[in-house]
Chain A
Amino acid sequence: MKAYLTRRYWFSASHRLHCEGMSEDENQAVYGKCNNPHGHGHNYALEVTVAGQVDPRTGMVCNLADLDRFVQEKILERFGHQNLNTLSDFQGVVPTTENLCVAVYGILEREFRHAGVDKIRVEETMLNSFEYAGGREIRY
């Protein structure tokens, strides 16, 4: 029996949307206020969905304590209260929320061993959210 478990977390970070390959005018036209050279911040809500067979002995897809510990150590401590532009994940990559989803997905896919990552969803503000499922179509 395959089930999908989603856990919701929060972190705050700053970023500046700026593409080195564009002129100043282009950056301004594309990114608007987000191109402010000093950056600006968000309270991000992160939803991590893992999927797998429910273990008949524990009734779980994976132990929530393992997922919480992993996300705390590998994601929240990495991105929380940071300027995203300064991190190695975003050298040559614009720290949009799209790219943030891809980066978080990659960390879970490479390093989380207790269940398969199915999807990452990030709310940048209450008005916009982004989802990434490793290139697969998202199941609703």
Chain B
Amino acid sequence: MVYLTRKAEFSASHYYHNPEFTPEENQRIFGKCNNPHGHGHNYTLEVTVKGAVDSRSGFVVDLKQLKDIMNREVLDAMDHRFLNREVPEFKDSIPTTENLAISIWRRLQPKLSVAQLHRVRVYETPDLFVDYYGEA
């Protein structure tokens, strides 16, 4: 089993708000992230897949295929977008880094036929990242 990681970068804006909380609760829990006009990050995405090395190609996965899937399923939907308003799953859930990692896993997992998805890592900043391994 060999693990292969592909990186991508995207920039997007978001804000944190739960309509079930009072304005005071939203402010207390989410602080500056509650600004309804949003704020942005340069996100770094790392997608790790695992699999046996194909004896003919020497690949775990065709990197171009993986890159195309990441572009189509994730970057086309999220890059230079306001996540709360333009990405359907964040109409009902808060686009935290945790939920972003879960959302990206769910977008990629059904599309990856060749290799097995191992981990989705999302850096919101160089000092903060979230890992999601799916539900065991």
Contact = CB atoms under 8 A, between A and B. Distances in A.
A57 B26 CA distance: 11
Given A57-B18, A59-B95, A65-B31, A3 B128 contact: no
A59 B127 contact: no
Interface stretch (A5-13, A14-22, A104-112, A126-134): A5-13
Bin chain B's interface residue count: 20 to 34
Interface string B94-136: 1111110110000000000000000100000011111111010
A7 B127 CA distance: 6
Interface residues of A, number: 22
Contacts of A59: 16, 93-96, 98-99
A54 interface: yes
A54 B128 contact: no
A4 B29 contact: no
A9 B126 CA distance: 11
Interface of B: 3, 16, 18, 20-21, 29-31, 93-99, 101-102, 119, 126-133, 135
Interface of A: 1-9, 49, 54, 56-61, 63-65, 139-140
10 tightest A-B contacts by CB?
A59-B94, A59-B96, A4-B131, A8-B127, A3-B98, A59-B99, A54-B98, A3-B132, A5-B130, A6-B129
